[in-house]
Amino acid sequence: MISGLVQILLFQSLGELVSKFLLPTLPGPVIGLVLLVLWLVLRKGINSELAMVADGFSQYLGLLFVPAAVGVVLFLPQLQANALAIISALIGSVILTIASSAFVARLLSKKETHE
């Protein structure tokens, strides 16, 4: 179990270093996660120690939503005051996301049919 935890912390540390010196716009844990996934793909599998730690972490993922819920409750008056703008932004972003995804899918499907 210690070995799996050390692996996770090692890749998070590597991600922080890459973020600090090479890619300051990306968060270190995200870079570390990508590095860990690449490492696991290269190894073509996951070892039992890392799997045990990952299973242990996944049991408590629900706790990560507690700070977000507290933030919503804390800023509820501001959310209510700006509800129209927030709803408009959410609907607009969903429409733009769907439209851009459809556009990219159409471009990619045209390339595949011409080959």
At residue 61, the 3 state secondary structure works out as: helix
The pTM for the full model equals 0.56
Domain extents for the chain?
Answer: 1-59, 63-115
Tokens read off for 65? 């939503």
**Predicted confidence band at 112 (pLDDT cuts at 50, 70, 90)?**
low
- CA distances (Å), 55 to each of 9, 40, 61, in order? 16, 16, 10
Tokens read off for 105? 């899918």
| pLDDT tens string 11-69 | 999 999 999 999 888 888 899 999 999 999 998 888 888 888 888 888 888 888 888 88
Using the 8-state DSSP alphabet, how is residue 72 labeled? H
